Amino acid sequence: MLWLFSPPRASVYLRRMDYLWTPWRYAYLVDADQAAKLGHKGVPPALAAWPGDCHCVFCNLIAATRFAVEHGMPAIDADRAANIVFRSQHSFICLNAFPYSSGHVMIVPYAHQDSLAYLESAAALEMMTLAQRTDAVLRQVYSPQGINLGMNLGQAAGAGIAEHLHMHVLPRWLGDSNFMTVISETRVLPETLEITWQRLHQEFNRFPVKPLRENE
C-alpha cells in the first residue's frame, strides 16, 4: 500500500499490483458491472443483446459473438467488441482485459473444461500450435526481450477464471520490472486495449495457421 503525491485529497491510493494509467480500465469495469447486472458475465454492452448466460466469461463471449453475427453484426465487429484477435478450430485467442503488459493474450479452448488432462487431445495439441504462433506474433509486433507463457489450473494456482482453462502469453522486457513496479507494485501500460486489438488482430490474421516456417 502506498500514497502517491500529497495525501489525502490529491493523492492516488494504490493497492498491491495496481495500474497507474489505464483509461480503458474504467470503461471495462463499468461494462463488466453492467453486464453482471444483466446476467452476462464477461459480455460487453455491444454484444449484450444475446439473451443467454453460460455463467462462464469465455463461454459467454463465444455465445454472444455468435448471436451477434447471426443477427447481422459483421464478424470482425463482434470479435473487436469481445477482444478476440484470432479464431482457430478448437480455440480462440483474446486480449486479457487486465493485462500485465501490453500484448497480454490468452489462448482459450472453445470447450468448457477446467482440466488439461481431460481436454480433447486435438484441442490440447492445437493450444501449443497457437502458442507458437502467439510467440511469433508478439515478437513481430512488440519486439520483446522475453515471453511468459503458462496456465494456472485451479483457484489455488492463481486462476482468475478457474472453470475454463486458458493459457496466458505475454511479452516481457528487462525494464518492465522497473522503478514503479518495485516501489509500488504498479504497472504502467503504454497502449489501450483498442490499439492492442488492432495490432494483434492484423498480425495474427496475416498468415495461415501453419506452417509458421516453411522448413518445419
Least spacing, CB of residue 161 vs Zn ion, in Å: 8
Per CB under 5 A, does 59 bind Zn ion? Answer: yes
Per CB under 5 A, does 56 bind Zn ion? Answer: yes
* 3-class SS string, 172-213: ECHHHCCHHHHHHCEECCCCCHHHHHHHHHHHHCCCCCCCCC
Q: What's the chain's length in residues?
A: 216
Other CB atoms within 10 Å distance of the CB of residue 44: 21
Per CB under 5 A, does 66 bind Zn ion? Answer: no
Per CB under 5 A, does 58 bind Zn ion? Answer: yes
Which candidate, 6, 4, 64, 76, places its Cα nearest to that of 31? Answer: 64
Q: Among all residues, whose Cβ is closest to Zn ion? A: 56
Cell of 2: 502506498
Residues in 114-173 that interact with Zn ion by CB under 5 A: 164
| Residue 56 or 149 having the CB closest to Zn ion | 56
| Residue 127 or 189 having the CB closest to Zn ion | 127
Cell of 49: 443483446
Least spacing, CB of residue 162 vs Zn ion, in Å: 11
Q: Which stretch binds Zn ion (CB under 5 A): 28-36, 105-113, 141-149, 194-202?
A: 105-113
**Spatial contact of 95 and 193, defined as CB atoms under 8 Å apart:** yes
| Residue 163 or 185 having the CB closest to Zn ion | 163
